[in-house]
Amino acid sequence: MPDDAIRCDACPVLCYIKPGRTGACDRYGNHDGQLVRLDPHVVLDRAVSRGDSIVPFLDRDRDWDGNIVSGPENFVTAIGAGTTYPDYKPAPFIISSAVQGVDMVTVVTEGIFSYCGVKLKIDTDRHLGPETNLVRAQGEPIGHVTTSEYGSQMLSLGGVRHLTGGSRREGTVTCETLLNLCNGKAVELGIDEGATVLVQAGKPPVVDGVQEERMRVGCGSATIGMFAKQWFGKVDEVVVVDDHITGVLSEHQAGKLLGIPETGIKIKGHRSTPGRYFRVAEPGTAWGGTNIEAPLSILQDFNPKIAWPRLRLLMVSTTGEHHAYFELDEDLQPVEKDLPSSLSESVTRIKENCEPALCTVLFMGGAGGSLRAGVTENPVRLTHAVRDALTRVTCGGTPVYVWPGGGITFMVDVSRMPENGFGYVPTPALVAPIEFTLKLSDYAALGGYMDHVRSLDSMMSDERRRHLSARENNPWPLSSPTRPRPER
């Protein structure tokens, strides 16, 4: 170790850092012999004057007049707060504040998460790849395709096996990809036997170079149910092509109730219930999330005993992106024609009813391990306090969903968090902000580090802290301190 280097002890890497240099993660540096956290420490501010957040008048602080006050206007997040290591040391900041006359404490730390990942929801019907197939970044396996949801494809990325259970490069690429996604950056992912997709939180996905615009309005059957009345009298048959359920108007219950007669249409695929067909084609990136480029390929010949010349047929996908209009000739063969104006309105209506396609990134981490020891000397009590709703968990001041059951396994929508709230360490693991807020009396009862509690006011005097406006769509993390204690 050079004489003038200092050792960073904020993670197990224990870097020696020379003056003017940074450690391996770029989070800490040697500034004139002092170990400093290089990113600004973020404080959320809900005062109107600081930014564009609007706070109702009655929620604002008032001078003490003997009545209950609403609480402080600042919340110290864990973004830029630093980490203590090993875990038995108290968290970097344990801050007290009075909220509606109740003494509260917020324990603030940047957690190092080896057990973490991203759940990625991609709003598209296009087939991205078979379920369970590997998802790759820079050629390295970083996750897999998981069960799709209504109108969306789902990827599960990261996790301890990719971070630390494979090659060094696999771990590094996994960590880098998670970090970029969580910090709102665009990432290109390739799926084995599937598509290449560009994803970014809050932005439309780009599948094989084509930007997705709309989520489907529903499956083919649901689309028939929604729009049957609008087609009634304007067309004799409608087929809504969809990879999940392809709908056929004349056979569907919606068509039956309207009295639409049989047309003699025959669909390839597996008939589920009347007017609803599974597996009309293979999954793909064309019509309705199938591999169909030519819609007539899913039709067999019309039944000559039922069909008639000049029968009008509309075929449309579940987003309205693909559509085609046909009329039967004298031999009962479909002939493509221009879409009549009376039907173009219904196709436009399908498009109108589709929501914009977006990518949603949920960070998921497990704080049920050693991180708890920085909060209390008796870690399991913190788990119980979270489960009993006595302790609120936030991530950069953003509400999280805590999974029931053991541990403190939580998920947070990264697009609701302050920007660039995540970091990494080269072990490799992700660094995520986490705050625990609870009553001061409860904190004492669960074995908290009471001699490390400092006041919120003492934090505010440091000008190096960066004040950000609290987001309007997030609940204020210091509100309603007196939550009911559920039965155990």
Q: Which is nearer to ligand SF4, 91 or 267 (CB)?
A: 91
| In the complex, minimum distance from the CB of residue 22 to ligand SF4, in angstroms, rounded to a whole number | 7
Residue found under tokens 């660094």: 431
Q: Contact at 8 Å (CB) between 286 and 293?
A: yes
Nearer to ligand SF4, 9 or 213 (CB): 9
* CB 38, min distance to ligand SF4, A: 9
Q: Which is nearer to ligand SF4, 28 or 449 (CB)?
A: 28
Residues forming contacts to ligand SF4 in the complex (CB under 6 A) are 8, 10-11, 13-15, 23-25, 27-28, 425-426
N- to C-terminal Cα separation, the chain: 53
- The residue whose two tokens read 């009075």 is 98
What secondary structure does DSSP assign to 40-109, as a single string?
Answer: PPEEEE--GGGSS----GGGS----SSSPP---SEEE-STTT---SSTTSPPSEEEEEEETTEEEEEEEE
Q: Which is nearer to ligand SF4, 175 or 215 (CB)?
A: 175
CB of 429 to ligand SF4, least distance (A): 10
Q: What is the dihedral of CA 117, 122, 128, 132, to 10 degrees?
A: 30
Report the residue closest to ligand SF4, judged by CB: 23
Task: Tell me whether residue 155 or residue 429 sits nearer to ligand SF4 (CB atom).
Answer: 429
**Minimum distance from CB of 40 to ligand SF4 (Å)?**
17
The one-character DSSP state at 374 is G
Question: 368: closest CA among 142, 87, 83, 180?
Answer: 87
Q: Minimum CB separation from ligand SF4 for residue 103, in Å?
A: 32
φ and ψ at residue 233, rounded to 5 degrees = 85, -15
Structure tokens of 135? 């998802």
We find the least distance from the C-beta atom of residue 121 to ligand SF4, in angstroms, to be 31
Structure tokens at 137: 């970044």
Closer CB to ligand SF4, 11 or 81, in the complex: 11
CB of 271 to ligand SF4, least distance (A): 60
Q: Between 426 and 475, whose beta carbon lies closer to ligand SF4?
A: 426
User: Please, are residues 219 and 170 in contact by the beta-carbon 8 Å criterion?
Assistant: no
